[in-house]
Amino acid sequence: MVLETVEAGGLAHLSYLLGDDAAGVCAVIDPRRDVEVYLDLARRNNLRVTHILETHIHADFVSGSRELAARTGAPIYVGAAADGYGFDHEPLKDGDTLEVGVLTLRVLHTPGHTPEHVCYLASGGKGSSEPWGLFSGDTLFAGEVGRPDLLGGGSEKKLAAALYHSLHDTILKLGDEVEVYPAHGEGSPCGGSIGDRNTTTVGYERLHNPKLKPMSEAAFVEKVLTGLPPAPTYYRRMKKVNAEGPAVLGCQRLLPTLDPERFDAERRKPGTVVVDAREIEAFGGAHVAGALNVALRAEFPVWSGWMLRPEQTILLVTQDAADVETVETHLIRVGLEKLGGYLRQGMRGWLEAGLPFETLPQMSVHELHDRVRSKRKGDGLQVLDVRRDDEWEAGAVPTAKHAFVPDLRKRLDNLGLDREKPLAVYCGSGYRASIAASLLKAEGFAAVENVPGSMKAWKAAGFATEKPGTGDDRDDEEE
């Protein structure tokens, strides 16, 4: 037997290749869009992809099922959906079985995260006649369960109730020894607080998962819908793309490299955005006017999906040419396909070509602290917190105003910010603050500064936070 886990960095997405090496066949479960990794694994193990399995209509990434089907000829199997799909597929219902060599996958209909969601219960293999593994998709994770709120439209409570029964009436009736292989690990917004293990067991979750403790359906519904982080706005678009069937990319064309003069001309075209994927300090030192800073860290694909639109033509600035392929892959995984090229030699080439650049000053938390104290005595500094609502409500920098980064554009006119006065922007670590600060610069704010380290640095320095709306300090570290 062959079982390989493929992790897509930045999305905390887990997919699987499961095969019978004696029969030379395999299935791929929940594939990502860049499918070469599965083809390489199949070749390496002398396997042929005969089944492509989806657990549900994904919301956080573009499915690679159609791409893989075009490359292998294998059929796509999905849970039967009331609204149907816009591509060729084999619908599955509860109790159906699929044979992959000596391996058997039994379909379990597990609605809750989505109505059509299915899990695959694996058995078979040498000495493995009983079920040994559950490919749980987004129904059950390590330490967490799937979110039932992503479909929207008032379906949250109904789906949460369905999730309760999927877990208690189906999954928890499996053997405690059954391994659980979920579609996501720690960091995915598809679960409220997923643990840092990529696999678990039914028995471990029965004992330790707080959402699986004995409780009524009503108590579960309330618990699972309370305290969820905001869902990225691009999720709704992803679900539509995946239901209709993503475009097959085939062989990707080489992303063009643009010399500075050509890059400068292209960026001025309507509907074009420059994404600068360098670290926030490098962006602060020099960047192309109007660029959006989304640093190439683990968070890059989620925040790119949140801040960019698929109809925009995207031009890239990276630290070096080696980063271009990584950035391009991340963007394609979240359905951002209109890539116009990247800046040859990065900002070094831009500067040496004698083209104008802008800077984004960085304000230390110590300076911010001093100026906030002075603000109460007449300093004109404005302070903006761009964290989530729950982070903001837990304690903020005194005098700050608040707008979550993805809502910033639509809330600008109501925040009462003066575009000519100094403005310091902070978040949890400085990452989201740099996104917001670069956006504000592009919107015409003349004196915006990012606060690197942001709230982490503020607290590490021993400075007090304030409960928004009260003026009362939450901490007593400072006099």
Task: Encode pLDDT of 113-145 as tens digits.
Answer: 999 999 999 999 888 889 999 999 999 999 999
| Predicted pLDDT of residue 378 | 55
Query: Rounded to an integer, what distance in angstroms lies between the CA atom of residue 461 and that of residue 479?
Result: 13
**Residue 433: domain span:** 365-473
User: Does 250 map to a domain?
Assistant: no
User: Does 251 map to a domain?
Assistant: no
Let me know whether 443 and 344 are in one domain.
no
Let me know whether 270 and 160 are in one domain.
no
User: Does 132 map to a domain?
Assistant: yes
Contact between 292 and 431 under an 8 Å Cβ cutoff? The reply is: no
At 407, phi and psi to the nearest 5? -95, 0
Let me know whether 396 and 337 are in one domain.
no
Query: What's the CATH number where 115 sits?
Result: 3.60.15.10
| Predicted pLDDT of residue 283 | 97
Structure tokens at 472: 């009362």
Let me know whether 236 and 309 are in one domain.
no
User: Does 417 map to a domain?
Assistant: yes
Let me know whether 58 and 109 are in one domain.
yes
User: Does 252 map to a domain?
Assistant: no
Let me know whether 261 and 190 are in one domain.
no
Q: State the burial class of residue 413 (Cβ atoms within 10 Å of its Cβ: 0-12, 13-18, 19+).
A: exposed
| Predicted pLDDT of residue 475 | 45
Let me know whether 337 and 414 are in one domain.
no
Closest CA to 397 of 363, 355, 447: 363
Grouping H, G, I as helix, E, B as strand and the rest as coil, residue 344 is: coil
For the chain, residues with pLDDT lower than 70 are 252, 375-379, 470-479
| Predicted pLDDT of residue 471 | 59
| Predicted pLDDT of residue 375 | 58
| Predicted pLDDT of residue 447 | 94
Last residue within a domain, chosen from 192, 213, 244: 244
CB atoms within 10 A of CB 196: 9
Let me know whether 390 and 461 are in one domain.
yes
Which residues in 338-441 belong to E strands, given as ranges? 339-343, 382-385, 401-402, 423-426
Query: Rounded to an integer, what distance in angstroms lies between the CA atom of residue 421 and that of residue 283?
Result: 22
Tell me whether strands 423-426 and 313-317 are parallel, antiparallel or unpaired.
unpaired
Residue 104 amino acid letter = T
What are 466-475's pLDDT values in tens digits?
998 765 554 4
| Predicted pLDDT of residue 263 | 98
Let me know whether 273 and 335 are in one domain.
yes
Last residue within a domain, chosen from 223, 244, 265: 244
Let me know whether 453 and 425 are in one domain.
yes
Domain count, the chain: 3
pTM of the predicted protein model: 0.90
Contact between 120 and 28 under an 8 Å Cβ cutoff? The reply is: no
User: Does 234 map to a domain?
Assistant: yes
Last residue within a domain, chosen from 311, 330, 352: 352
Question: Is residue 101 left, alpha or beta, with left meaning phi > 0 and alpha meaning psi from -120 to 50?
Answer: left
Let me know whether 149 and 225 are in one domain.
yes
Which residues in 110-193 belong to E strands, given as ranges? 118-123, 133-137, 140-141, 144-145, 179-182
Helical residues (DSSP H) of 91-224, grouped into ranges: 156-165, 202-208, 217-224
| Predicted pLDDT of residue 134 | 98
| Predicted pLDDT of residue 376 | 56
Residue linked to tokens 């493995």: 128
Let me know whether 336 and 378 are in one domain.
no
Measured at the CA of 19, the angle between CA 18 and CA 22, to 5 degrees, comes to: 160
| Predicted pLDDT of residue 309 | 96
Query: What's the CATH number where 405 sits?
Result: 3.40.250.10
| Predicted pLDDT of residue 470 | 66
Query: Rounded to an integer, what distance in angstroms lies between the CA atom of residue 60 and that of residue 425?
Result: 28
